Each structure stands twice: as structure tokens, then as C-alpha cells.
Amino acid sequence: MKNYTQFLLDLLVAGILTLLSMMLLSFIIPEGVTTKFLLRGSKIVGLVSLILGVIFLVFWIFNKNFKFKKKIELPELKDLTLLALPMSPVLDFAIINIEYLDQISFLYLIIITLIFTLNFSFILPILFSYFASFKILMISGIALSFTILTMAKITNNQTNHIFNSQFLTQGIYLIISFLILYLIYSFNKKISYVVVVFFIITGISLNFLNYSSENPVNVNQTERLLKFINNKNNNIIHKKNINILVYESYADSETLNYYGFDNTKHLKFLKKNGFNVYKGIYSNGGLSIASTSRILEIKGELSQHGRHYISGNSFGLNIFKANGYKTIGLFKSPHFFGSSPIKWDEYYPEGDVTKMGGKTLTKAIFEGEFRFDIFDDNFEYKKYLELKNKYLSSDKEKTLFYTHNSYPGHSQNSGKCRKNEKDLYFERINKANLEMKNDVINLMNNDPNSIIVILSDHGPYLTKNCRELRNYNKNEIDRYDIQDRYGAFLSIYWPKDIPYVQHNIEIIQDIFPTILANITNNKNLFNELKIERKFFDRFNTKVGGVNVNNGIIKGGKDDGIPLFKNRSYSLQK
């Protein structure tokens, strides 16, 4: 009877400690997915604690010999090994996002999460061990810390939620991690130490292998550049300013019509101002960095992380630099920069992204979600627009200006479409059209003899689950699902005083090949530089393994038919 009473008291105190921890954390950590879980979860934990309290009182009444322990317990030094469990997801996140971290940022991320874990897994349990078993209090704290630090992974895997419920999945993570660790620790402490160490080593190894496979070692690009510039026919003879304006997730007109949005009026505006609007264009990358890095590097298979090239270390930009051009890169936030040196002659935002990476990643972990726009939090879009207007309206010569905006933007990346997802996108595309009109008017008034490229990086992710389709049957994935993720927008203004030759432009990665072919004496340069027409990034997850080869879908429901019905290019075998 005494043991049952003490065990009930242990559970009751563990419940109270968990409740207090959840309430305290809901006020401390940034508002987001985690705080929603803590607020909802605290109500359930409070109810369970109340029930345990009533049961304990009943047992206490009938067990007159029961005595409260009134003694603080201290952990064994070896128990600190159990910190490997909650710290495992933190190290996983660090490896995946290593491009954002220098040594100080990495230490910041580890130290902050470690202090958090120590407080709720050891310090508070030591204080509450005056009333209950330290063991159960420590393990409840570890389970809570593990669940919170894993929250971003849970949020990221919407398709794997139990009974399609994120809250239920979060709760099961908490309960299962507590039960498994408690049972193993109670059976044999040494085994529990081995299990958590194996868990963290396995996680680190898998993430390191994945990162290494997606980010090969550096390859010297000097030979490729020298070979190009040593060919005199490749010298730029029409030294026009180049303005490249990337609009985030702006869809092709065929895709927009499928969504139910008529963009005819805006396209007429572009054509009236002398722009060629290309049809049926797509990208060989389904994410911003995967897509635009291949534009700048003019290559499908990359030897570095995409951020390396977007930071200005690219073959395409180096060609223009070798011809006396100044390169300017304007971005809405440092999301596009990584640990590589930034080689734009002029760029915004300035500063080293790795110095803020630790704080940003720590914030994301505690929010419980790696928002695609989390780096935008400290940067005002108004400032970006002011700078873009300034650059587009300023006098410049032999300048390549490249910018990437925020609109219309894609879905929220949760893995579930909101009820009004398309309506929200339509609102944003109207904003994008206004911004584009302003940009076009600016350039027509101030730099009308420049080559102007307006394009998008990929699609808006509005079909199926509004995210990747790896859990869908291939036969369910149709042409519009692929357009929705890889389809892109492209419009180019060619000045009248250059002998423009129309090329078979099919992908947005064709823009540098077609520009260079039209401003040099090498009329075959487009064919020499053009990239293979297929997906190079994670198409196995993005579109369930369906690919495109020269504009023809390979696999899926629409296998063998063109990706787009309406095309401005001819399909080639």
C-alpha cells in the first residue's frame, strides 16, 4: 500500500511539475506552434493531475503509515548522458542548416538549448524531488524537453500525423518518450545510456550523410571560366545593362487559369511595354535556392550548396565581371546567403548571415516550426522596395542588377492547404502585379535600353496538400501538380538596337544562355550553355518521383504528354 501511495504521489508531483513547466514556457518562448501545444496540453495535464490528486488523497487516507520523503535527491553524474535524447534534434537541425552557422552561432544554438534542457530536466526536478522520486521527475522533464525541441520536425511532417492530428501527434511524442525512457531506465540505467547515445549518433550520422550527398565538395570553377573568356567570340560586344527581377512563386498563365485566376490584363500591360511573354516555362528546381542557383551557375548538377552561387560565386556572374560589369544583388533578407564569401560587387542586406544564424535557428526550434520566411522577421519589406526603386531609377552603365522579392509567394509549407489558400494567393498576385508594374515603369523611364528579365523561381504549391507529394501514389500526380511546383513565369524585354535572335527558351535557366548569345558574336552560345531540360533537385519528394524530359512528363498520371498545353517553344527529342 505504501509503495502504491508513493508512486501515486510521484506521478502527481511529476504532473504538477510538467504543468508548471508548460505554463512557464508558454510565456517565455516565442509564440508559435509550440506555445499552442503548451497551452492546450497544460489543460489536459492539469486535468490528469487533478484526478491523480484525488486518487492520492484516497490512498493517503487509507494508508495512515505513509510518510512524505522530505528529502532532496541529486542525480548521478552518469544521468547527464540522458541529455543526448533532447539534444539530438538540435544537432540534427544544426547539421541540416550548417550554411547559416559559424562557430559562435553554433555554440549559441547548443548552449541555449542545453541550458533549457538542464533547467527542465535536472534543476527543477532536483527541487521537486523533496516530495517525489527524482527519477520520474527527471524523465518527465527530459520527455518534455525532447518533445519541445523536436516540435519543428513534427510540424514539418504533416502527412505523418497520427489520425491527421498535429496536437495528438505532439502529445504521443511526449507520452511515448516518457514511457520508453522510464521503463528502460527502471530496468537498467546503463542500457538507457547506451540507447540515447545510439539515438543521437544515428541521427547525426544520417543527417551528415544526407547533407554530404546534397552538398558535394567544392570544385574549382576557374578552368571553366577561363575556357569561356579565352574564346574571343564569347566577348560581350553589346554591353547593355541587365536587370533580372525574380518574383517569388509567380505562376504561368496556364497554371493560373487552372487555379481560376485570369491574369490577361497584366500580361497585356507587359506586351504593350515591349515584353515577350513566354508560355509553358518551368524550372529545373522546385525551391527558390535550388532554382535560382542554377540560373546563376548555368549548370544542372551543382558542386556546392545553392547559396554559394547566389552569394555571387557563380559562373554566370563571373562572365559579366570578366567583361567589366558591376554586379548588384538585392534580396529581401539574408535567407539566400550562407557561409560562402559574398562576391556581389554591391549587395543588400549586408552582414554575415552566419552571425545571426544561431539566434534565428534557436528561435525557429522553440517556435516549433521552420518557417520559410523566418529570416524576414528582422527585415522590413518596405526597405527592400525602397532600395529596389532606387536601383531601378538610378543612372548606371555596364551593370547586372539581380533581385528576388517576396510576392506573390507560395503556400505556408505546413503540408495542409488552408481553406482559402488559393484566394490568399490571388490577393498576393495582385500585389505582385502592382509591384511589377512599378518596376517596369521605373525601368522604361530610366533604363529603356537595358535587357529586362522578369521571371519567377518556381510554382506556388497550391494543389493536393500544398507541399511535397512523396506520400502520394504516382498515378495521382498530374500535369497541374507538376506545374504547381515547377512551373514558372518568364518575360523578357529586348532593346531594339541589338540583333535579337529568338531561341527555344524552355526553362528559366535559359536566361543567361539566351542573353549571352544575343550580346556576343557567338550565335551558337545558347546551345553550348543550355542546361538539360529535366528536374535536378529533390523531385522524388516534391512530385513523387515524376520528372520532365524536354518538356514531356515522365511518370505519373500524365506520363508521356507535354507539361504545358500552351508553349512558346518547340518540343525537341
Q: H-type helices in 188-305, by residue range? A: 189-214, 222-229, 253-259, 264-272, 288-297
Here the cell at position 27 is 510565456
What number of other Cβ atoms are within 10 A of residue 2's Cβ? Answer: 11
Helix (H, G, I), strand (E, B) or coil at 247: strand
Rounded Cα distance between 455 and 398, Å, is 21
What one-character-per-residue DSSP string does 473-518 give? -GGG--HHHHHHHHB--EEEE--TTS--------BGGGHHHHHHHH
User: What is the maximal distance between C-alpha atoms in the chain?
Assistant: 101
How are beta strands 547-549 and 490-493 bridged, if at all?
Answer: unpaired
What number of other Cβ atoms are within 10 A of residue 538's Cβ? Answer: 15
Rounded Cα distance between 306 and 529, Å, is 19
Q: What pLDDT does residue 217 have?
A: 47
What one-character-per-residue DSSP string does 130-183 give? TTS-HHHHHHHHHHHHHHHHHHHHHHH-GGG-GGG-HHHHHHHHHHHHHHHHHH
pLDDT tens, residue by residue, 363-381: 888 988 776 556 656 678 9
Asked whether the beta carbons of 417 and 462 are under 8 A apart, the reply is yes
Element (H, E) at 541: helix 539-542
> For residue 349, is the peptide bond before it cis, meaning its omega torsion is within 30 degrees of 0?
yes
Bridge-partner residues for 137, per DSSP? none
Asked whether the beta carbons of 392 and 441 are under 8 A apart, the reply is no
The residue length of the chain stands at 573
Rounded Cα distance between 460 and 427, Å, is 13
Rounded Cα distance between 569 and 125, Å, is 68
Q: What pLDDT does residue 222 have?
A: 79
Task: Please give the C-alpha separations between residue 180 and each of 3, 7, 15, 162, 231, in angstroms, as whole numbers.
Answer: 22, 18, 17, 19, 66
> For residue 408, is the peptide bond before it cis, meaning its omega torsion is within 30 degrees of 0?
yes
pLDDT tens, residue by residue, 120-154: 999 999 999 998 999 999 999 999 999 999 998 88
- Amino acid identity for residue 100 in this structure: Y
Name the nearest CA neighbour of 316 among 229, 241, 398, 217. Answer: 229
pLDDT tens, residue by residue, 219-250: 456 789 999 999 999 999 999 999 999 999 99
What one-character-per-residue DSSP string does 341-392 give? PP--SEEES-S-HHHHHHHHHHHHHHHT---TTGGGGGS-HHHHHHHHHHHH
Q: Calculate ∠ Cα 354-359-362, nearest 5°.
A: 120
Stated pTM of the model: 0.78
pLDDT of the chain, 573 residues: tens digit per residue: 557 788 888 899 999 999 999 999 999 988 888 999 999 999 999 999 999 889 888 888 888 778 888 889 899 999 999 999 999 999 988 887 777 787 888 899 999 999 999 999 999 999 999 989 999 999 999 999 999 999 988 877 766 778 778 888 888 989 999 999 999 999 999 999 999 999 999 988 887 777 666 555 444 567 899 999 999 999 999 999 999 999 999 999 999 999 999 999 999 999 999 999 999 999 999 999 999 999 999 999 998 888 889 999 999 999 999 999 999 999 988 888 877 788 999 999 876 666 667 788 888 889 887 765 566 566 789 999 999 999 999 888 899 999 999 999 999 877 789 899 999 999 999 999 999 999 999 999 999 999 999 999 999 999 999 988 988 999 999 999 999 999 999 999 999 888 888 899 999 999 999 999 999 999 899 999 999 999 998 788 888 899 999 999 999 999 999 999 999 999 976
The 8-class DSSP code of residue 244 comes to: E
Alpha-carbon torsion 446, 447, 448, 451, what sign? negative
Asked whether the beta carbons of 253 and 263 are under 8 A apart, the reply is yes
Phi and psi of 455, rounded to 5°?
Answer: -150, 170
- Amino acid identity for residue 465 in this structure: N
- End-to-end CA distance of the chain, in Å? 81
Asked whether the beta carbons of 285 and 303 are under 8 A apart, the reply is no
Helices 222-229 and 315-322, packing angle to 10 deg: 40
Q: What pLDDT does residue 442 have?
A: 95
pLDDT tens, residue by residue, 160-200: 778 778 888 888 989 999 999 999 999 999 999 999 999 99
The 8-class DSSP code of residue 88 comes to: H
Q: What pLDDT does residue 573 have?
A: 61
Asked whether the beta carbons of 351 and 368 are under 8 A apart, the reply is no
Here the cell at position 570 is 518547340
- Amino acid identity for residue 115 in this structure: I
- Amino acid identity for residue 385 in this structure: L
